[in-house]
Structure 1
């Protein structure tokens, strides 16, 4: 059994406590004090020293001391030091939380830039990582919290974490053991088919939800189908025969219409018309072929000249942009030269001022302490030393001005070289632009020449429509078109009558088809209703099977929990644990609730019972983990008698009369501890 005892705990400027030393020497103790005197702060300091958290398991709690107006008091070192006896060996841990003040370059006053924490083990400074490793080598954080606070298990852990820890203590029960203890569970292994209970419960819940959703939708769907079904019925076979007869009549009328429209004379004249139109197109194409070639060549030449002109303009624009950039760069350099030359003038003035300085030495030859005259030799030595310092300072400042002047002069020379180079480049660009301007003048002449050549070629193209042959063909085409129009007008009346008959038959066929389609929809709706009713029955049967599996799973859980409850409760003297709730529908809901004499910890147990139940749990956990650690009991005034514990017990007791902390250690005289 690993035993950890607290020997002494020291606080300095921690959460409002200026100075507090508690000497325990590993013994049980009672710490008395009025409200807000600092009892709980001692436990907060103890946990912060180890794990950076307070007694409420929070990291971001206030450590710093506050002024009366609530503002933070600066420049304090908030210190907690604890000496422990770990398996007979003494270990001293210390942490200092303090402000970090940083003086930035060019600032006279340091600024507050955050906080730092310093760590020490046996007075040896350590990094946070090494310090944490040292604490972990003593005890695990979660285990230590479980063993040092009677309320941590019941008030800080989630029920799932508590249940898991209890199972670690007593050992879990295998599914095979549970099934073997109850013959009604024999079928469960086959139903699970290798899946865990939790996974099967999730699968069942998902399936039941889906089935319920589908069962709710089916009556609505059936009702909608019934409402949409028409009540009338038709003789489908008769309707189909009628449609076939109508389509045969329409086909006969369409053929009759074609015969009327396509008379022999109309077809012959249409053929002649097509031949004449082709002849006219061939005439126009061959007539214009030679003269149009000249136009095409002139257009190609014009496009070539226009493209060359566009290229030269683009190069000219690019050169001009480059020229403007050189001008801007030269102006910038000229501004730099002017600025540096101005700085050089200022340096010259400063040089003349320093050079004109004269050494001056005071005539006061008295001692500043006793007011007696100083020896002449001492006065002369002081004057010589002051003169040497004056000359050294002036020489240094003049040399520094010379260095800056030389640097500026060299920089100006470099800038002038760059300026000369830019001007040369600018002149070269101007020459290039002049060349492009000359090229544009040449291209402009070429452009005008190409435009004139195109106009000449276009004017030389002959108009085919003015020739006798073209006019003769056009006259023949117009005559044929008039003949075809006259023949068609005679056939229009006959065709119109046929179209009217076809329209009537199409309308009658549409009505028959609508009736057939309506009958098909009614039959499909009836079949759909039957399908939905069958689906409703199948879903209900599937739901019933899922309910049976659910019952078996719940019976399994109930059996296992009863077995676990007995095993777990046997590990504790006072604490008992409720591991499941029975729901209204008979199902089971897994929980983990601590009780004492049948009273739930969270709803009806008084503070004394809560503390003693917590101590009982610590006794069991201490035996399980093989560790004994100091126990802090807050609000210990509620308990008249603690249950027996085998480890160091530190009770924090509210006592109105104690305006300062009073510590009573078993076997020692009471001590008053200032905690202001």
Structure 2
């Protein structure tokens, strides 16, 4: 125990490792000094270029604003060019309409009365020509008025296009001048040598590497001594624990035996609960199955030829909701699916059975049309009016 207490004190000293802590402090101070020297070097070396850099930044901002204005002017220029082209196109169409209106002549077919076929009297003919000329003159005035408006719009749009083009040319010249000036300012900025290549930086790095090497050596020596002391500590702990090992094992065995008995009793209790739960689940499933069968019986009581399957029986004994119609086959107690393995006559009579049941339930009897019924020799009699459509035997050639 005395040797163990002594080793505990040594291990605490190795963990503290005062020499390594001192070296870490000196390394941190050396890095701080190097950072301060680097900042001072950068400040001194770039002091002469501060004014030029500020001018270049101002010039870049002016170029950016000019480029934004140039983009906006280009959008306005393209929009007005497109608008001018549309005005010119519409103006050309008006010119064509004006020519067509000018060339239009009084139709000769209007000189004959459409009712009696006789040539109209001269007075009536003069009235018709006057009305025609009036309409023609009115259309000409409307075309002329709209043409003048379009011409004015076209001229104003063309003027804006020319103004935008002039502004774009002016901005392009200013941008070219500013970019050349910016390239000149950028070239005149002095770029200092990297801090890492200076003599001072190398001196700081050399001293820092020496301190790091000393720290690595101190930590390695401390680790070796620490591991040796820890190994001896483990040996002492094993020797001290060997005397109490047998008693500890016997106590642990007794505790484990007691825990095993407790778990067996709990297992029996859980087994009874599981059996009761399984019985309840079985009863619940049986109730659901009987309820589903009762629902199917109540629904099928309203039909004669059709039986509805409302629930599917699954492999595990459960049921799943569904809704399928089955039709009685040749055998009275056998029903097949409505969609397959059932002839047309049975399908039609099954459909009539469904309609009759729904009509009775809703108390609404509407006429029923049965088409393509040639293959049915007999249809189910229901309360609804049944209208049967089929081809007559003497009309096969039609």
TM-score (norm 1): 0.30
**Whose helix proportion is higher, 1 or 2?**
2
Higher relative contact order (CA 8 A, sep 6+): 1
The alignment's TM-score, normalised by the length of structure 2, stands at: 0.47
Greater percentage in strand = 1
